[in-house]
């Protein structure tokens, strides 16, 4: 038994009951969202993993009341899926190739846990070139590297999608927004 387990106070029956009710509420909300997408989603029904549904439920949770907002979760997931359908697969245009080829973005192996490492060198972004095409290409290049890395992570079961970095201030604002999601 670990030291933390030995020193942790025992939970009262009321605390245990509260945790069980919270877990049951989450499971019910997950089931409701999964049922919606597996039966009513347009253009075609899809199956969603419980872990994906949980992330969206937590994002749309009413924290004051401790309730999951299933309708808001379905709306958010629908918008997300529509965005993904429009965005992916990334079209490798000459502008995206240029963004990938100048050393701004580098897929650099794996960390100790097997997760992909993507290095973004903000100093290599041209601050004078703020055209929509350039910013879109930079965002597309970032997404392309991240998606490739994630698709190669099949052996990493517990990755929660967290992205870390030392400084994102020099990256174009659209890419910063995508990385902050």
Encode pLDDT of 151-172 as tens digits. Answer: 766 555 454 555 554 333 334 4
Identify the pLDDT of residue 71: 94
Which of 100, 25, 33 is closest to 71 using CA atoms?
33
CB atoms within 10 A of CB 156: 14
Identify the pLDDT of residue 32: 95
Q: Which residues of 71-88 are buried (b: 16+ CB within 10 A; e: fewer)?
A: eebbeebeeeeeeeeeee
> What angle do the packed helices 13-39 and 70-87 form, to 10 degrees?
50
- pLDDT tens digits for range 6-53: 667 888 999 999 889 989 999 999 999 999 998 888 777 888 888 889
pLDDT at 174 over 50: no
CA–CA dist 75, 123 (Å, integer): 38
Asked which of 82-86, 106-110, 111-115, 175-179 is least confident by mean pLDDT, the reply is 175-179
Identify the pLDDT of residue 155: 54
What is the SS3 string spanning 57-121?
HHHCEECCCCEECHHHHHHHHHHHHHHHHHHCCCCCCHHHHHHHHCCCEEEEEECCCCCEEEEEC
Identify the pLDDT of residue 26: 92
């Amino acid at each position: 038994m670990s030291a933390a387990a030995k020193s942790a106070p025992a939970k009262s029956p009321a605390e245990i009951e509260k945790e069980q009710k919270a877990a049951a509420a989450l499971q019910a909300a997950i089931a409701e969202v999964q049922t919606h997408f597996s039966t009513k989603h347009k253009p075609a029904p899809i199956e969603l993993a419980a872990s994906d549904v949980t992330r969206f439920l937590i994002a749309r949770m009413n924290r004051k009341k401790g309730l999951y907002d299933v309708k808001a979760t379905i709306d958010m997931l629908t918008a997300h899926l529509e965005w993904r359908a429009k965005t992916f697969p990334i079209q490798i245009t000459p502008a995206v190739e240029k963004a990938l080829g100048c050393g701004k973005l580098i897929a650099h192996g794996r960390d100790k846990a097997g997760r992909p490492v993507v290095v973004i060198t903000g100093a290599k972004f041209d601050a004078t070139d703020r055209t929509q095409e350039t910013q879109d290409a930079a965002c597309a290049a970032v997404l392309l590297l991240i998606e490739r890395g994630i698709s190669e992570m099949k052996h990493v079961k517990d990755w929660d999608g967290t992205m870390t970095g030392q400084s994102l201030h020099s990256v174009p604002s659209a890419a910063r927004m995508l990385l902050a999601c």
